Amino acid sequence: MINNAFAPLQSLADTLLPYSLEPSGDGAHDLSHLQRVWNNVRLLQAQEGGDLEVLLTAALLHDCVAVEKNSPLRSQASRLAAQKASQLLADMGWSDSKIAAVVHAIEAHSFSAHIPAISLEAKILQDADRLDSLGLLGVARTFYVAGRMGNALYDPQDPEAKDRAYDDTRFCLDHFQTKLLHLADGFQTLAGQRLAEIRHERLKEFLEHFKEEIGVG
């Protein structure tokens, strides 16, 4: 692990990291993802404010229950993680108000859970996590997950889905249209919106080059 990767609260991170990830072999939701989300949180918190202790705890525990992308429980993943975090923090003697703040941030971070982010910390965590699904990191993670799920890169008969419905359970390229290209519209903070716009443009640029290289357009 990178020294002080979770500064300025590295000691808290050292306490929580043993509970942060379940064994899953998912390289899109591993320690490096937690480090990137925390880096995004720090960028946003520096401009927006927010409780760093709540933010770090929520960032470290937001994926503490491993649910595969193709699992029927996927939409429940953030709630399951929040429940596990709540029990862990209670056992550690955290106050009810602090636990509630962490729980809400974890529950609301998920794209598929459709839980509105109410608190500033929840909005920051949601933005920080979604930034990791945009830009070149978003591209890399999307193709990585598609490979793990055994999906094709794209439909060779209809890459742009002009005569079929999008199906990102079969074709990786479809995931850009079903999710990635819509993420930038839902950012909660001004700082997050600015970063999302930059990464959104990188995503679109990649997609255009990709389509050119496969002979589309």
Alpha-carbon separation of residue 85 from 10, 17, 40, 132 (angstroms): 18, 12, 21, 22
The answer, yes or no, to whether residue 163 has pLDDT greater than 80, is yes
DSSP 109: T
Burial class (CB in 10 A: 0-12, 13-18, 19+), 54: buried
Rounded alpha-carbon distances, angstroms, from residue 154 to 14, 101, 111, 115: 41, 41, 23, 31
In this prediction, residue 183 carries a pLDDT of 92
Q: Name the pLDDT band for 73 (thresholds 50, 70, 90).
A: low
pLDDT for res 1: 46
pLDDT for 127 equals 97
Whole-number pLDDT of residue 191: 97
Alpha carbons 184 and 64: distance in angstroms, whole number:
25
Calculate what percentage of the chain has a pLDDT beyond 90: 76
Q: What percent of the chain has pLDDT over 70?
A: 91
- In order of their start, the domains of the chain are 1-116 (no CATH), 133-217 (1.10.3210.50)
Instruction: Give the Cβ contact number of residue 189 at 10 Å.
Output: 22
Lowest mean pLDDT among 42-51, 66-75, 171-180, 203-212: 66-75
Of residues 210 and 20, the one with the higher pLDDT is 210
Residue 152: strand, helix, or coil: strand
Tokens read off for 13: 């991170």
Mean pLDDT score of the chain: 91
Q: Who contacts 211 (Cβ-Cβ below 8 Å, separation ≥6)?
A: 159, 160, 217
